[in-house]
Amino acid sequence: MRITLVFAVLLLASFALGAFFTPLEPVSPRHIIAMEEILLGGKTLRVQIADTDAARTRWLSGIETLEDDEGMWFVFPEDGLHTFWMKDMRFPIDILWLDAEQRIIHIEHQVRPETFPRSFMPNSPARYVLEVRAGWVQEYDIQIGMQATRGKKI
């Protein structure tokens, strides 16, 4: 009887630990994730879409660089003060928060990897976040209030 009870407790504990340590859903390699064009300030960006928790959590971590016409477009299911940090990042970026109408509501310029563990967030709720290479916003005179347009899927 005692062995059965110990076995049952161990079995239950292993299920509980297994659920606790189950990894997040895997993130696809860059070339497999959905891509779209985003039009902003007269420029076209090829962006990779991060619309799952796993992709939003890990996407640019470990990537070496972004090209001038590349970005990451984060899609959230609802408006919020979505916070970003630079954990495991290898290069600086500009971060733009956009509302549900895809208008820029907040910009952080030249966010460097050394800022980790500091977090960055907008002053008001956002639905989307766009990450581009550092300096892109200034180079193309991107301003708060400008509207992005989602283009074709690539």
pLDDT tens-digit map of 51-74: 888 777 665 556 678 899 999 999
CA distances from 103 to 2, 48, 144 (A): 65, 19, 8
pLDDT at 36: 94
Residue 146: inside a domain = yes
- Which pTM does this prediction carry? 0.76
pLDDT of residue 2: 52
With respect to residue 3, please indicate whether it lies within any of the assigned structural domains. Answer: no
> Which pLDDT score, from 0 to 100, does residue 139 have?
96
Helix (H) / strand (E) containing 55: helix 53-58
Instruction: Give the pLDDT confidence of 74-91 residue by residue, as tens digits.
Output: 999 999 999 998 988 889
Within a domain: residue 102?
Answer: yes
pLDDT value of position 43: 95
The predicted model gives 108-114 an average pLDDT of: 96
How many domains are contained in the chain? 1
Range of the domain at 148: 25-153
- C-alpha torsion sign, points 76, 79, 80, 83: positive
Whether residue 16 lies inside any domain: the answer is: no
Q: Answer yes or no: is 17 within a domain.
A: no
In percent, the amount of the chain with pLDDT more than 90 equals 58
